[in-house]
């Protein structure tokens, strides 16, 4: 087990037994060192409003992840992420059941990531015309 992974989340209430969690700062470090892949499981409309713009981030919505399991590497830490951590925890649990050896949920999701002032890309309200309610 990676000593930087947590057995209990610190920034979200939802947890499933056996799912490990990782802090946003630790995840950012692993992503920058290319020792992890972040899997954004949010819906397309959420992802298009704001996303983590790093090279080793992939978007697989939760409802499509089962169809994408063969595309996921097994030789690197997979970090699941959603808005607050609930869907990410569920997908991490699924990946554990599918025998992926190193899986963790981003503790607190993108909300906690942003609270720690980590980089996020987003569309400007002028670019979308306010159609999504972001303005």
* 70-128 residue pLDDT tens: 999 999 999 999 999 999 999 999 999 999 999 999 999 999 999 999 999 987 554 44
Which tokens sit at 74?
Answer: 């097994």
Q: Flag whether 7 is in a domain.
A: no
Q: Using CA of residue 50, residue 56, residue 59, residue 65, what is the dihedral sign?
A: negative
Q: Flag whether 101 is in a domain.
A: yes
Share of residues in the chain with pLDDT > 90 (%): 84
Report the CATH number at residue 119.
3.40.250.10
Q: Flag whether 91 is in a domain.
A: yes
Q: Flag whether 30 is in a domain.
A: yes
> Which pTM does this prediction carry?
0.88
CB 72 within 8 A of CB 56: no
Q: Which domain holds residue 111?
A: 21-128
Cα–Cα distance for residue pair 130/90, rounded to 1 Å: 31
Which residue in 120, 95, 124, 96 sits closest to 109, CA to CA?
Answer: 120
In this prediction, residue 1 carries a pLDDT of 52
Q: Flag whether 12 is in a domain.
A: no
Q: Flag whether 73 is in a domain.
A: yes
Split into its structural domains, the chain has a count of 1
């Amino acid at each position: 087990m990676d000593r930087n992974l947590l057995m209990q989340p610190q920034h979200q209430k939802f947890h499933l037994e056996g799912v490990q969690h990782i802090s946003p700062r630790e995840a950012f470090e692993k992503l920058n060192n290319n020792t992890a892949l972040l899997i954004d499981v949010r819906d397309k409309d959420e992802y298009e409003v704001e996303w983590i713009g790093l090279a080793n981030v992939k978007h697989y919505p939760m409802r499509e992840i089962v169809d994408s399991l063969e595309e996921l590497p097994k030789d690197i830490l997979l970090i699941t992420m959603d808005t607050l951590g609930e869907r990410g925890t569920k997908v991490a649990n699924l990946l554990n059941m599918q025998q992926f050896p190193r899986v963790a949920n981003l503790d607190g999701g993108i909300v906690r990531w942003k609270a720690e002032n980590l980089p996020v890309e987003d569309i400007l309200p002028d670019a979308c015309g306010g159609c999504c309610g972001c303005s």
